Amino acid sequence: MNVDQLVAIDTHTHAEVSCWNPFDNYGEEYDRAADKYFGSNRRPTIDETVAYYRERKIGLVMFTVDSEAKLGRRRIPNEEIAEAAKKNADMMICFASIDPHKGRMGAREARRLIEEHGIKGFKFHPTVQDFLPYDKMAWPIYEVIAEHKMPAIFHSGHSGIGSGMRCGGGLRLQNSNPMLLEDVAMDFPDIQIVVAHPSWPWQDEALSLALHKPNVWIDLSGWSPKYFPPQLVQYANTLLKDRMLFGSDFPLITPDRWMADFEEAGFKDKVKPGILKGNAMRLLGLGQPAAAGACPASGRSAAAAG
């Protein structure tokens, strides 16, 4: 990224439409429920999203969510997003998403995406992917991420996906309690773990985990800042100011709205540059060393975890 030319870096944006694969209408009831919940049916192409961010001089991290095992829906190819990132390398980075149910085949894919396609991190959604973050099923993929010292974003808290559907669409909110990431943070201290979103109804758990584990970060996506819990703003202004990240959750929330509300949400002027860009630069290794996030007292390692 040409960070000097960017006003901010959005660490949480979604690819919504594939231009490589034919449209897959399987499971569209999840889309209709999400449209109702979020009050939006925006689904731009990858190119349209990139153009939107380029016009605003905002860098972006983009990913899809591979939930093929649970939802049965064809994912947007990681390679498609990676290709867009290569074409727009001055302002775009691609994270991959691999369903943890793919186990060692998923680990092979992760390694290939890193080595052949320049993937810079990974995205997991424990609710939609139907797994517990500490389940050893996911360990082979985590081991590849740790080997390459890459960050991984985990959805946390409530999910608009499945909200209002019968039985919540079969999706379990409990999988996205941020405290379930503690074993991952301890066994894989070389993975920088990003807890995505204000983690309602577990905000205090997320803050405690980040205070205790130096390789845990929090992105502020998915909510307008004017609705942030007061303790989240408090810690962003103080003890966790170096590990808070701007994220919008585009296209569900636009960076225009997020950044406008951010100015009025009680964040101190001295922490705003870090949240908007500086912390993401450290996380992503852009112009500054990536955070170490060591956890030497745990007495455990990725190798020992199997």
Contacts of 48 (CB under 8 A, 6+ apart): none
Token reading at 259: 């950044």
pTM over 0.95: no
Q: What is the full per-residue pLDDT of the chain (306 aa) written as tens digits?
A: 999 999 999 999 999 999 898 887 777 888 888 888 888 778 899 999 999 999 999 999 999 999 999 999 999 999 999 999 999 999 999 999 999 999 999 999 999 999 999 999 999 999 999 999 999 999 999 999 999 999 999 999 999 999 999 999 999 999 999 999 999 999 999 999 999 999 999 999 999 999 999 999 999 999 999 999 999 999 999 999 999 999 999 999 999 999 999 999 999 999 999 999 999 999 999 975 444 444 443 333 333 233
**DSSP 3-state of 68:** helix
Q: How far apart are the first and last CA of the chain?
A: 35
**C-alpha–C-alpha distance, residues 34 and 163, integer Å:** 7
Domain boundaries, the chain: 3-305
Residue 288: the pLDDT is 58
SS3 per-residue string spanning 97-150: CCCHHHHHHHHHHHHHHHHHHCCCCEEECHHHHCCCCCCHHHHHHHHHHHHCCC
Q: At what angle do helices 103-117 and 78-87 cross, to 10 degrees?
A: 20
Structure confidence at residue 301 (pLDDT)? 32
Which of 216, 188, 199 is closest to 279 using CA atoms? 216
The CATH code for residues 3-305 is 3.20.20.140
What sections of the chain are H helices per DSSP? 28-38, 46-56, 68-71, 78-87, 103-117, 126-129, 139-147, 182-187, 203-212, 230-236, 255-262, 272-273, 279-284, 302-305
Q: What is the Cα–Cα distance from 229 to 114, expressed in whole angstroms?
A: 36
pLDDT for 286 equals: 95
For 22, the 3-state DSSP assignment is: coil
| Residues 76, 19: Cα–Cα separation, whole Å | 9
Rounded to whole angstroms, the Cα distance separating 181 from 137 reads 14
Q: Supply the pLDDT for residue 304.
A: 29
Q: What is the pLDDT of residue 146?
A: 98
